[in-house]
């Protein structure tokens, strides 16, 4: 009890009631009795405010029941009324001592760390504070004392020293400075550590060949500094590179990329700056997560679900912010604000951190303290994967405060609390937070896709020091796939969501609007109150649909079952069923229920192929060969298979371990995505999700492989039923769309283009856009009957915030706004692209003012809008749109209107595809049998043009799937915008031949011989793409201050290295392995009298030719010339030119053969056998000519290298980031 | 129905130590693809498949390259190898750990092992003595045709 008036605050000398919290000011608030005897609370100008019932107050009369909050303290108080208790004097009004929540272990660690760092005056035991998280509380020092000026001076010279390859000489000449405590005080240690680490790595990795040892001028002080920091082996740490390697341009400005520079840049190129500083900003963006994790744990201890929800939301929002705003600043788009060229990255930054000494820790991503803190908070227990082990290993090198914090964060289980309370809001928020961390579109998911893109590009251009990852292996080893598989495994080591990762919504009665053509649209609201759904305008919601009774009945009949049979579930199916409202973890389901949840229409390609393997029905094989399976539904196919003699009952009779068990053949229905057409108030949970669902009804095609029948879309009809019934409980998943966001600046204008149900996200946009920015909406729609009044649009138009232009494509009508609502009147039929052209000036004005443009509709609609925009903007239209995209001002939300393959367009040959790999010919690629022209798309690809160009001219299906693009409907649909046709399937009948292989005589289908040719072409094309990217490096700015056109010695050494790799890794593999197989097989089919060994003999003879020996043995001589300062630029340019040319020649030679297959198909051997064999010979001849040309140029440069031997390939050094090659001496 | 009801008695057989030429002769005369093999005491030891005879004649990659290196050479070597093999004994080609049935076994039992292991003709063995064989044709005849 205390007596009024009373002061509350942090300082025990100034306040009567002490609140121990850094968020509380020293004198924070005062409590006193007011004029009328009531209790008055006054804020004393505190920094973080005083709150009554969650509203910030300056002066407030408080009444019984009011909640008072200061900092993290919720104050409980009792007011003893003096009028009723005469025994207590008026001035003895009392209140109870405020009760703060219990301080959890993690808070005690942070407070102790803050106090310790303050006391000792440095942060060597680890940066740790609530305010700055894992970053230093004091900004990194900018200079050494005069005694160590030599180091500071060296910093500015690094780029030039790199460029000229003179860096080692400069460091060899640098004085050896004293780094012992008497010469270098503690406060300079971190700067010394960063700088010496960067220097040492620069010395190590400047040239392609590592030095024998570090010079004394680096090794001695670096070792001393490392020991003083408690590191046994000198190594560059995460702190060195990212947490203590930045400075603010404007010290009072934001801690963001735009306001930061590197403290110790190495090359000082764009890749280095962006990659390092974004990582730094990322850590800065995560700072609030530390406090929020601690508050969440304290909320658990205090049993306060509301406080827990708030803290979890802070974590969720920050994770979303860093992954969707900070991380994408690493932008491979060359037109982006901070472009980062992946090849430049790979050749410089990508390997710079690989440890120099054996057993030293690396500054890899697994050394991020935030990851370890979050993993501890989320109770990750498994670290068995390779990345997991590396992670544990690296955490062992953490400074003391970090180690203590990570351990302390494991002491309170937020997860258990969320599980126990069974509170749907908490569960929703917890799972959303977890998804923002490890989900496909969360931090770890995004990282995996981005890393895949970077690593693929990096390995294809031969990461230099790579510690291996089998860069010495052949081109086709696909190391990046192995690294990617690791990243996938490690995500699974983190703990799964609490309960099923879904939220439940209840359908309200909706409205179905039918147009005159019979097409319909359903407007449906889902009630998600209390589910903790936090989403932004533009996000999508995934819906788990159910099949209708009619389809289920039909399928049960086709399965010759009665529907009550119990069918066992696979783990995949069990997880899917657990996501359904009302179903827990079940092992079996009645067949009828299973069919309601199964993806049984249309038949997907994987299922179609599985059915081929299980049955011998030729009819079905022919359907699948023609890629017409999507014209069929499961019951259809079952009837077809039964007619072909297959026992269809096996599907439900088979045991789970058998390959024909239902759950092994048929997948569960996936989440179907719809744009959310509503917007919750900012920062609040949504109570309603509105959907606009376009009905899908179509007739399958009449073709030799399918028959006409009315078909329905599963999801749209399911939602229609739900809207008619109301009250149905739906399983939902919120899917965020970081690339479809409103501008951060509410004053920017936005222009929206929608067709049909594509209006959905824009209803949410308009509702959320209450700021000063203009909103323009162009809506394409067929007839006036389909035009629907939207309250949001009417309200926005009435307030002058929105202008709507509607284009009716099948009626002479138009829409005007009468001051209250939009009304349909007379007009002329037109399409949205007509309107765009008509209002070109208006649109250009909006674009000039920085408008963001959004397109939502079918692929065809998106193409028409983009084409129209391209034609009206000033200057180079495509270039304008590329820039718009790079600036994040053009966003597309494209959906496929299902048409099936019956409408497929032109057919293309593999030989045509393979030729489209240059700017002149255009760039094509094949995915899933379809052909795409990606010439323009490469400039728009979020992952940058390198990844696209890596896959042009070949079948990119595997790469496309690897990054889950096919599983993300929004990405997959966008692809349709660039489709130009399909690859033609050749018909070889059942032709076969005999071939002699190392395994003996074999019978081989002719089709397999063709595939061997195609695989070879794709391999050569892949190499051509990779090599073009590799040599493209010669025109980038690799060090600051250089002319990108100059082939500097630094760049030239990479050309020599790439050339050596071309000879060893590409060419030897191609000739010794792939072309040889092609030859062996082709000879078997085409010429029984040809000696199989003649190929090997030709190859061996070629290797002995003097020009070949000269070319291969002279590479090290060229490297030596380069290192000693001689000019070998011309020869390097010759290498680059002729290497690429050889691949093109090889491709052209082999394509002659492929074309023979395309022309003659089944008769190719009889009619064009000689052409095939000649094609292989021509390929070998091309290689011979290549060696002759290069030898001539080499001799012309005066290099003979008669006695030189070919340089041996260094041994494989394992996965990157796992320790380097040098043993530490002494 | 039992194995003994439908099996073929007096199966085509050959003894260990016989030449491959003799085996080829028995195969061509009996028109049976799988010969039963007996030891010198007349006890069942295994089977010899015509498939293995043919396989033994196929030249390996090394054979072909040593003999000219063309596919035509491979075809010629096939014939030559056949001639060379003719005088060798069958013993190395005999499959000894072959599945057998007893005369008193149920037919279905035999059918299952034949389908699962891809066996065309099963030896019927009673206490070490070969008493007959059961072929897929025997099964079809007895169970379907005569039903």
What pLDDT band is residue A317 in, cutting at 50, 70 and 90? very high
Bridge partners, B106 (sequence order): B2
| Region A112-117 average pLDDT | 95
Q: What is the pLDDT along chain B (147 residues), one digit of tens a residue?
A: 899 999 998 889 999 999 999 999 999 998 888 999 999 999 999 999 998 899 889 999 999 999 999 999 999 999 999 999 999 999 999 998 889 999 999 999 999 888 888 888 999 999 999 999 999 999 998 888 877
The answer to whether the beta carbons of residues A975 and A932 sit under 8 Å apart is yes
Looking at CA atoms only, how far is residue A1083 from chain B in angstroms? 8
| Region A575-597 average pLDDT | 92
Q: A979 Cβ partners below 8 Å, 6+ apart?
A: A859, A905, A930, A931, A932
* 3-state SS record for A285-342: HCHHHHHHHHHHHHHHHCCCHHHHHHHHHHHHHHHHHHHHHHHHHCECCCCCCCECCH
| Separation of alpha carbons A847 and A749, rounded Å | 8
Beta strands in A531-621 (DSSP E): 540-544, 566-568, 588-590
Cβ neighbours, 10 Å, residue B18: 19
Bridge partners, A513 (sequence order): A521
Q: What is the 8-class DSSP label of residue A645?
A: T
What is the reported pLDDT for A98?
43
**What percent of chain A clears pLDDT 90, i.e. is strictly above it?**
62
- Choice among A446-455, A1005-1014, A1201-1210 with the minimum mean pLDDT: A1201-1210
Chain A residue numbers with beta carbons less than 8 Å from the beta carbon of B64 are: 996, 1001, 1092
What is the reported pLDDT for A77?
61
Label residue A292 left, alpha or beta by phi (over 0 means left) and psi (-120 to 50 means alpha).
alpha
DSSP string, A8-69: EES-TTT-SEE---TTS-SS-EEEEE-TTS-EEEEE-S-SS-EEETTEEESEEEE-TT--EE
**pLDDT surpassing 80 at residue A67:** no
Chain B residue numbers with beta carbons less than 8 Å from the beta carbon of A1165 are: none
- Choice among A495-499, A534-538, A907-911 with the minimum mean pLDDT: A495-499
What is the reported pLDDT for A92?
44
Bridge partners, A55 (sequence order): A52
Cβ neighbours, 10 Å, residue A321: 16
Identity of the residue in B60, B65, B72 whose CB atom sits nearest the CB atom of A1088: B72
| Region A470-479 average pLDDT | 47
Establish if A658 touches chain B: CB-CB under 8 angstroms: no
| Separation of alpha carbons A196 and A201, rounded Å | 8
Q: What is the pLDDT of residues A975-1000, one digit of tens each?
A: 889 999 999 989 998 899 999 999 88
What is the reported pLDDT for A229?
92
| Region A1214-1223 average pLDDT | 38
Q: A722 Cβ partners below 8 Å, 6+ apart?
A: A507, A510, A524, A728, A730
**pLDDT surpassing 60 at residue A475:** no
What is the reported pLDDT for A167?
93
Looking at CA atoms only, how far is residue B60 from chain A in angstroms? 5
| Separation of alpha carbons A443 and A450, rounded Å | 10
Report the SS3 class of residue A1202: coil
| Separation of alpha carbons A1193 and A1199, rounded Å | 9
Bridge partners, A30 (sequence order): A7, A42
Q: Supply the pTM of this predicted model.
A: 0.84
What is the reported pLDDT for A960?
85
Q: Which two tokens stand for residue A533?
A: 């759904």
Give the residue from chain A lying closest to B70, CA to CA. A1091
Task: Please choose, from the candidates A934, A927, A930, the residue with its C-alpha nearest in 3D space to the C-alpha of residue A960.
Answer: A927
Establish if B61 touches chain A: CB-CB under 8 angstroms: yes
Establish if B10 touches chain A: CB-CB under 8 angstroms: no
**pLDDT surpassing 90 at residue A441:** no
Establish if B71 touches chain A: CB-CB under 8 angstroms: yes
**pLDDT surpassing 80 at residue A458:** no
What is the reported pLDDT for A1198?
85
Establish if A1094 touches chain B: CB-CB under 8 angstroms: yes
- Between residues A802 and A31, which one has the greater pLDDT? A802
Contact call for A997 and B61, based on CB within 8 A: yes
Q: What is the pLDDT of residues A746-804, one digit of tens each?
A: 999 999 999 999 999 999 999 999 999 999 999 999 999 999 999 999 999 999 999 99
Looking at CA atoms only, how far is residue B88 from chain A in angstroms? 22
Contact call for A996 and B75, based on CB within 8 A: no
* Structural domains present in chain B: 3-145 (3.10.580.10)
Residue A297 CB burial class (10 angstroms; 0-12, 13-18, ≥19): buried
| Separation of alpha carbons A1155 and A1172, rounded Å | 9
| Region A256-284 average pLDDT | 93
Contact call for B70 and A1092, based on CB within 8 A: yes
Q: A795 Cβ partners below 8 Å, 6+ apart?
A: none
Alpha-carbon distances, residue A56 vs A435, A647, A722 (angstroms): 32, 72, 43
Q: What is the pLDDT of residues A1044-1099, one digit of tens each?
A: 999 999 999 889 988 988 898 789 889 999 999 999 999 999 999 999 999 999 99
What is the reported pLDDT for A25?
79
| Region A443-472 average pLDDT | 65
Contact call for A1084 and B71, based on CB within 8 A: yes
Give the residue from chain B lying closest to A1084, CA to CA. B71
Q: B66 Cβ partners below 8 Å, 6+ apart?
A: none
Chain A residue numbers with beta carbons less than 8 Å from the beta carbon of B67 are: none
ipTM topping 0.85? no
Q: What is the pLDDT of residues A125-152, one digit of tens each?
A: 999 999 999 999 989 999 999 999 999 9
| Separation of alpha carbons A24 and A273, rounded Å | 38
Q: What is the pLDDT of residues A1033-1052, one digit of tens each?
A: 899 999 998 999 999 999 99
| Region A454-466 average pLDDT | 65
What is the reported pLDDT for A363?
81
Give the residue from chain A lying closest to B63, CA to CA. A1000
Residue A1066 CB burial class (10 angstroms; 0-12, 13-18, ≥19): buried
Chosen from B71, B76, B116 to mutate, greatest number of chain A CBs within 10 A:
B71
**pLDDT surpassing 70 at residue A820:** yes
What is the reported pLDDT for B18?
94
What pLDDT band is residue A44 in, cutting at 50, 70 and 90? confident
**What percent of chain A clears pLDDT 70, i.e. is strictly above it?**
92
What is the reported pLDDT for A676?
96
Q: What is the 8-class DSSP label of residue B51?
A: H
Chain A residue numbers with beta carbons less than 8 Å from the beta carbon of B59 are: 1000-1001
What is the reported pLDDT for A468?
30
Identity of the residue in B58, B64, B70 whose CB atom sits nearest the CB atom of A1089: B70
What pLDDT band is residue A1161 in, cutting at 50, 70 and 90? very high
Task: Please choose, from the candidates A324, A277, A282, A293, the residue with its C-alpha nearest in 3D space to the C-alpha of residue A442.
Answer: A324
Q: Which two tokens stand for residue A970?
A: 């929004």
Task: Please choose, from the candidates A561, A539, A545, A880, the residue with its C-alpha nearest in 3D space to the C-alpha of residue A679.
Answer: A539
DSSP string, A839-882: THHHHHHHHHTT-EEEEEEEHHHHHHHHHHHHHHSSS-HHHHHH
Q: ∠ CA(A512), CA(A516), CA(A522), 5° rounding? A: 15
What is the reported pLDDT for A472?
37
What is the reported pLDDT for A93?
42
What pLDDT band is residue A273 in, cutting at 50, 70 and 90? very high
Q: A924 Cβ partners below 8 Å, 6+ apart?
A: A908, A912, A913, A916, A931, A932, A933, A934, A952, A953, A980
What is the reported pLDDT for A97?
40
CB-based burial, A168-198: b 16+ in 10 Å, e otherwise: bebbeebeebebeeeebeeebbbbbbbbbbb
Backbone angles phi, psi at A236, to 5 degrees: -75, 125
| Region A824-829 average pLDDT | 93
Q: What is the pLDDT of residues A901-956, one digit of tens each?
A: 555 679 999 999 999 999 999 999 999 889 999 999 999 988 889 999 999 999 99
What is the reported pLDDT for A722?
94
Chain B residue numbers with beta carbons less than 8 Å from the beta carbon of A1089 are: 70-72
Report the SS3 class of residue B57: helix
Give the residue from chain B lying closest to A1085, CA to CA. B71
**pLDDT surpassing 70 at residue A507:** yes
What is the reported pLDDT for A146?
93
Task: Please choose, from the candidates A146, A244, A137, A232, the residue with its C-alpha nearest in 3D space to the C-alpha of residue A189.
Answer: A244
SS3 content of chain B, % helix, strand, coil (to 5): 45, 25, 30
């Amino acid at each position: 009890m205390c007596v009024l008036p009373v002061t509350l605050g942090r300082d025990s000398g100034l306040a009567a009631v002490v609140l121990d919290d850094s968020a509380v000011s020293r004198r924070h608030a005062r409590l006193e009795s007011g004029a009328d005897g009531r209790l008055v609370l006054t804020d004393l100008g505190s920094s973080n405010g005083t709150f009554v019932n969650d509203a910030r107050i300056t002066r407030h009369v408080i009444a019984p029941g009011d909640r008072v909050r200061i900092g993290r303290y919720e104050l409980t108080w009792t007011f003893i009324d003096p009028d009723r208790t005469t025994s207590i004097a008026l001035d003895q009004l009392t209140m109870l001592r405020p009760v703060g929540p219990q301080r959890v272990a993690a808070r005690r660690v942070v407070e102790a760390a803050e106090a310790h760092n303050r006391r000792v005056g440095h942060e060597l035991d680890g940066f740790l504070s609530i305010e700055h998280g894992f970053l230093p509380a004091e900004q990194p020092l900018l200079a050494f004392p005069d005694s160590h000026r030599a180091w500071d001076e060296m910093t500015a010279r690094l780029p030039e020293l790199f460029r000229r390859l003179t860096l080692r000489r400069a460091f060899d000449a640098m004085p050896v400075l004293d780094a012992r405590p008497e010469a270098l005080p503690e406060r300079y240690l971190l700067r010394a550590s960063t700088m010496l680490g960067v220097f040492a790595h620069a010395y190590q990795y400047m040239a392609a060949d590592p030095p024998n040892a570090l010079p004394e001028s680096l090794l001695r002080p670096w070792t001393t500094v490392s020991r003083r920091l408690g590191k046994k082996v000198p190594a560059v740490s995460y702190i060195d590179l990212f947490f203590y390697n930045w400075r603010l341009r404007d010290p009072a400005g934001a801690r963001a990329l735009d306001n930061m520079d590197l403290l110790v840049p190495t090359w000082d190129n764009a890749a280095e700056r962006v990659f390092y500083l974004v990582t730094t900003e990322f850590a800065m963006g995560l700072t609030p997560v530390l406090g929020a994790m601690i508050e969440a744990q304290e909320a658990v201890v205090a049993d306060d679900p509301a406080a827990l929800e708030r803290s979890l939301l802070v974590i969720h929002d920050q994770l979303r912010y860093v992954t969707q705003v900070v991380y994408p600043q690493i932008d491979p788009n060359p037109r982006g604000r901070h472009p980062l060229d992946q090849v430049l990255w790979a050749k410089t930054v990508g390997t710079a951190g690989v440890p120099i000494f054996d057993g030293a820790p690396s500054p890899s991503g697994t050394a991020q303290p935030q990851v370890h803190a979050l993993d501890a908070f989320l109770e990750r227990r498994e670290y068995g994967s390779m990345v997991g082990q590396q992670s544990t290993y690296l955490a062992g090198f953490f400074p003391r405060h970090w180690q203590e914090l990570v351990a302390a964060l494991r002491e309170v289980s937020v997860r258990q609390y969320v599980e126990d309370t069974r509170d749907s809001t908490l569960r929703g928020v917890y799972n959303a937070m977890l998804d923002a961390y490890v989900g496909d579109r969360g931090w770890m998911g995004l990282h995996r896709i981005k890393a895949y893109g970077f690593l693929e590009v990096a390995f294809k251009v031969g990461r230099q020091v790579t510690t291996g990852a089998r860069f010495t292996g052949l081109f086709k080893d696909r190391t990046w796939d192995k690294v990617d598989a690791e990243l996938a495994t490690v995500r699974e080591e983190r703990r799964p969501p609490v309960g099923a990762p879904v939220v439940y919504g209840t359908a309200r009665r909706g409205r179905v609007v039918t147009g005159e053509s019979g097409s319909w649209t359903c407007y449906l609201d889902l009630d998600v109150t209390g589910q903790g759904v936090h989403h932004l305008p533009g996000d999508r919601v995934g819906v788990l649909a159910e099949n209708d009774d009619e389809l289920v009945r039909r399928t049960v009949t086709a399965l010759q079952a009665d529907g009550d049979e119990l069918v066992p579930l696979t783990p995949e199916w069990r997880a899917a069923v657990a996501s359904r409202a009302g179903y827990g973890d079940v092992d079996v389901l009645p067949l009828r229920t299973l069919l309601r949840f199964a993806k049984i229409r249309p038949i997907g390609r994987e299922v179609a192929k599985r059915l081929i393997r299980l049955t011998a029905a030729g009819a079905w094989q022919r359907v699948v060969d023609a890629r017409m399976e999507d014209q069929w539904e499961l019951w259809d196919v079952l009837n077809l298979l039964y007619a072909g003699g297959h026992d269809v009952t096996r599907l439900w009779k088979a045991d789970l371990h058998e390959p024909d068990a239902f759950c092994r053949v048929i997948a569960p229905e996936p989440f179907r995505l719809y744009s959310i057409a509503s917007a919750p108030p900012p920062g609040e949970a949504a109570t309603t999700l509105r959907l606009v669902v376009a009905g899908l009804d179509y007739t399958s095609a009449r073709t030799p492989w399918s028959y006409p029948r009315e078909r329905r879309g599963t999801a749209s009809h399911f939602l229609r039923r739900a809207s008619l019934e109301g009250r149905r409980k739906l399983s939902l998943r919120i899917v965020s769309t970081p690339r479809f966001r409103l501008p951060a600046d509410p004053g920017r204008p936005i222009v929206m283009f929608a067709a049909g149900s594509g209006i959905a996200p824009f209803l949410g946009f308009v509702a959320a856009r209450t700021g000063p920015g203009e909103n323009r909406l162009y809506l394409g729609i067929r007839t006036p009957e389909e035009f629907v009044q939207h309250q949001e649009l009417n309200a926005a138009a009435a307030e002058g915030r929105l202008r709507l232009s509607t284009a009716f494509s099948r009626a002479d009508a138009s829409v005007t706004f009468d001051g209250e609502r939009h009304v349909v009147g007379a007009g002329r039929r037109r399409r949205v692209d007509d309107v765009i052209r008509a209002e070109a000036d208006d649109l250009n004005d909006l674009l000039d003012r920085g408008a963001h443009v959004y397109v939502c509709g079918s692929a065809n609609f998106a193409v028409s809008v983009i084409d129209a925009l391209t034609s009206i903007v000033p200057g180079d239209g495509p270039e304008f749109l590329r820039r718009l995209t790079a600036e994040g001002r053009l966003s597309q939300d494209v959906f496929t209107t299902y048409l099936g393959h019956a409408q497929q367009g032109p057919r293309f040959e593999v030989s045509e595809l393979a030729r489209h790999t240059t700017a002149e010919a255009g760039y094509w690629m094949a995915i899933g049998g379809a052909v795409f022209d990606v010439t323009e798309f490469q400039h728009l690809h979020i992952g940058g043009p390198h990844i696209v160009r890596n896959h042009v001219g070949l079948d990119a299906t595997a790469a496309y799937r690897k990054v889950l693009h096919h599983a993300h409907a929004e990405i997959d649909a966008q692809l349709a915008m660039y489709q130009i046709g399909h690859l033609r399937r050749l018909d070889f009948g059942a032709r076969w031949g005999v071939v002699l292989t190392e395994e003996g005589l074999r019978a081989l289908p002719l089709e397999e011989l063709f595939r061997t040719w195609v695989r070879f072409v794709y391999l050569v094309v892949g190499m051509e793409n990779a090599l073009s990217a590799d040599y493209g490096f010669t025109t980038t700015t690799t060090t600051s201050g250089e002319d990108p056109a100059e082939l500097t010695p630094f760049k030239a050494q990479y050309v020599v290295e790439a050339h050596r790799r071309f000879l060893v890794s590409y060419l030897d593999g191609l000739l010794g392995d792939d072309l040889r197989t092609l030859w062996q097989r082709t000879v078997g089919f085409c010429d029984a009298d040809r000696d199989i060994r003649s190929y090997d003999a030709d190859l061996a003879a070629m290797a002995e030719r003097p020009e070949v020996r000269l070319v291969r043995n002279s590479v090290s001589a060229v490297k030596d010339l380069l290192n000693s300062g001689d000019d070998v630029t011309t020869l390097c340019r010759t290498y680059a030119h002729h290497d690429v040319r050889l691949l093109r020649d090889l491709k052209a030679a082999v394509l002659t053969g492929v074309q023979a297959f395309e022309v003659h198909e089944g008769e190719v051997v009889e009619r064009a056998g000689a052409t095939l064999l000649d094609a292989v010979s021509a390929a070998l001849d091309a290689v011979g000519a290549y060696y002759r040309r290069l030898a001539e140029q080499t001799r012309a440069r005066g290099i003979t290298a008669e006695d030189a031997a070919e340089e041996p390939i260094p041994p494989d050094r394992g996965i990157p980031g796992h320790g380097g090659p040098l043993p530490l001496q002494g | 129905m039992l194995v003994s009801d439908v099996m073929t008695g007096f199966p085509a057989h050959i003894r260990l130590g016989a030449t491959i030429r003799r085996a080829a002769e028995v195969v061509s005369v009996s028109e049976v693809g799988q010969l039963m093999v007996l030891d010198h005491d007349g006890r069942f030891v295994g089977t010899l498949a015509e498939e293995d005879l043919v396989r033994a004649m196929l030249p390996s990659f090394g054979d072909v390259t040593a003999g000219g290196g063309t596919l035509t050479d491979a075809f010629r070597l096939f014939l030559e190898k056949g001639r060379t093999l003719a005088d060798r004994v069958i013993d190395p080609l005999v499959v000894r750990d072959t599945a057998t049935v007893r005369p008193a076994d149920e037919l279905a039992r035999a059918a299952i092992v034949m389908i699962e292991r891809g066996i065309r003709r099963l030896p019927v063995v009673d206490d070490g003595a070969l008493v007959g064989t059961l072929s897929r044709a025997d099964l079809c005849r007895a169970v379907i045709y005569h039903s």
